[in-house]
Structure 1
């Protein structure tokens, strides 16, 4: 390991790897956005990255931006001549090609400038070496996991905006013709009019809301009991709250199906509303009991001394102090219920009672155009994504507010 703890080794190695990562990312992004042929070149990316890695080192304690800029200009010239980190197809437009080259070289240079901020050409301290490696791994992680999330969503959205003839002509072309205007949304309109997707949305919404209310009704007193009251088996109960998640739901699917069929609850919304909280109460109870433990017990004891009953203490003191946790748990439970598929698929057969996920599954047929399935997936994804992004800071606050006692 000591052999690589030199700036003139660490810089080129991290630069080569980083350039390959960036070139691959830009190639995928440009191919999806333009429909043109972009691909990373192994040796071109390694050589360009190594050169930029050397240029971004800090000789004499100071770095000169002129060197990375000069090296980047040379790499761009080489890319135009046919040797660079990114190769383009022969029929690729000049503008698209230059955008790809600038993106690959520019993002590589910017990333390495930040990544090698503390690296000098000579021997590196352990801190300097580890800092550079950690920054590389952090950047790679951001790109990798962002791509995992965004690429399927992008493909899903672009496919939903196409018509059947375009998909038949080239299923891998994810560009769209903006001149069609509102015609791009025809798949969404047909879902609402021909496939009754509005009903599925409404069913999923009120089932999710009812699941949240039922979950909180059971989780709040249960979590408070575990956190505040003393009874035989309390410690064992607190440790075993999440044991239910050790049993995969698919293992319980057949017993649930048989039981619901025998009792007449299968293919009913009432049955779905009964079974969903079974999957959400344990996690809600676990989250809330941790928060309740973090609340100062002295406040509740003062309420008891003032003559309040235990129930009034919970209602007037504990719950108002726990609003951030209640909000985060409600959001989490709502997302679980909204996205639940296995139980809905197993228990619901009547299209008039389908939840959104069950309705989307019914579109997965050779008789239904593929763009309708993708449009349904977008409809199911966007509301919960907007809800989470809009309330994410409240969810984070609620989950962490009870982590420190007092």
Structure 2
């Protein structure tokens, strides 16, 4: 492989770009967390990033020492007014110094990771591409984390404010911790005045029943597609997900008319009829792939020992499929918990509202905005906790059937 002189060019270039990314990130984080004005200075970011990146190409000291030195250097640059992050009026020296120390420490440490293995002079294309991939990976982590974290942070901080604070400065997302438990007044009022306890319970048991109904239909269906031989099996297997080619908004009016004529609108029973329709196809698709990956010889041995086909499924197939069942259950539960369109269209009685339908009822000029944000937090946190707690089962279930055992 030919060797090119990428080192001296790559380090300053990636350093400049990486400093811009981190300067923007630190400025946004400090602005949201303190309510004070921080803004990135692009030209200074490019300059400092290129200079420090070039200096870090051949470090002779440990990475933590490098991080400390770069952090201290940018703090001094901040005092001189030539740092990558500029501060507006009202920002104290402590906050400004902390922003630059954090920026420098993160930049110094992460640049050593990005430039790891990149020689100063001649480098192979593979070494150059590895450095670029590490840079793009870091950028991707920051970019997609910001997309998720910033709206969630704004939502949480808004829910902890009172009406006077929101009216005074709606763009200030810092909070006054001296209020103590008074910060959670919006959450208390939701349960006391807006019946949110009932919404939570309704969403919970509707989601659980949706999971049970989905598994009851998708397990035998997926097993039949994976193991049995019947006419039209291949076509059925390929067409399972065709329902997702039709947007739900297109089906909304026919569903509304049919449920109104059948007397199922504004009933939990109607919701439990339509929710599995949206979840069974994806559950079938996920489970059939897993069932195909299970060794057929184990089931054949059970049949030879005198077990019926149903007994084989119950005693052999399902115990071996627990990771897949867990991942499907979690996925279906999240779909049912977060579903809004059908609940909004079919439910009018507040006593039957699901959580998402209840949150929509808070979107009114007569209800303070912090109550809407508090409701959104209540809807988001439980499913987030469940997902993070069971994520390993979901990952295992999604990937285990991809390799035939």
Band the TM-score falls in, shorter-chain normalisation: over 0.9
1:224 and 2:223 correspond: yes
Structure 1: tracts of 5 or more residues without a match = none
Query: Could you tell me how far 1:72 is from its partner in structure 2?
Result: 5.2
Query: Could you tell me how far 1:74 is from its partner in structure 2?
Result: 3.8
Query: Could you tell me how far 1:80 is from its partner in structure 2?
Result: 1.2
Q: Normalising by the residue count of structure 1, what TM-score does the alignment of the two structures yield?
A: 0.96
CA distance in 1, matches of 2:374, 2:109: 37
Structure 2 counterpart of 1:101: 100
CA distance in 2, matches of 1:97, 1:67: 21
- Note the 1:54-69 alignment, pairs <5 A: 54-58=54-58, 63-65=60-62
Structure 2 counterpart of 1:183: 182
Residues 66-75 or 302-311, more deviating? 66-75
Judge conservation of contact 2:68–2:104 (CA < 8 Å) in 1: no
Query: Could you tell me how far 1:90 is from its partner in structure 2?
Result: 2.6
Structure 1 counterpart of 2:79: 80
Query: Could you tell me how far 1:93 is from its partner in structure 2?
Result: 1.2
CA distance in 1, matches of 2:26, 2:295: 52
The Cα RMSD (Å) is 1.6
Classify 1:190/1:72 alpha carbon distance in 2 versus 1 (closer, same or farther; 3 Å): closer
CA distance in 2, matches of 1:236, 1:190: 53
Judge conservation of contact 1:295–1:405 (CA < 8 Å) in 2: yes
Structure 2 counterpart of 1:34: 34
- Note the 1:5-24 alignment, pairs <5 A: 6-24=6-24
CA distance in 2, matches of 1:216, 1:252: 24
Q: Normalising by the residue count of structure 2, what TM-score does the alignment of the two structures yield?
A: 0.96
Provide the aligned length of Structure 1 versus Structure 2.
402
Report Cα offsets for 1:156-177 as digits up to 9, x if no partner. Answer: 1110011000100011111111
Judge conservation of contact 2:67–2:105 (CA < 8 Å) in 1: no
Judge conservation of contact 1:5–1:129 (CA < 8 Å) in 2: no
Structure 2 counterpart of 1:259: 258
Classify 1:224/1:209 alpha carbon distance in 2 versus 1 (closer, same or farther; 3 Å): same
Structure 2: tracts of 5 or more residues without a match = none
CA distance in 1, matches of 2:182, 2:89: 32
Classify 1:382/1:235 alpha carbon distance in 2 versus 1 (closer, same or farther; 3 Å): same
1:52 and 2:52 correspond: yes
Query: Could you tell me how far 1:400 is from its partner in structure 2?
Result: 1.6
CA distance in 2, matches of 1:277, 1:67: 56
Classify 1:397/1:3 alpha carbon distance in 2 versus 1 (closer, same or farther; 3 Å): closer
- Note the 1:234-245 alignment, pairs <5 A: 234-245=233-244
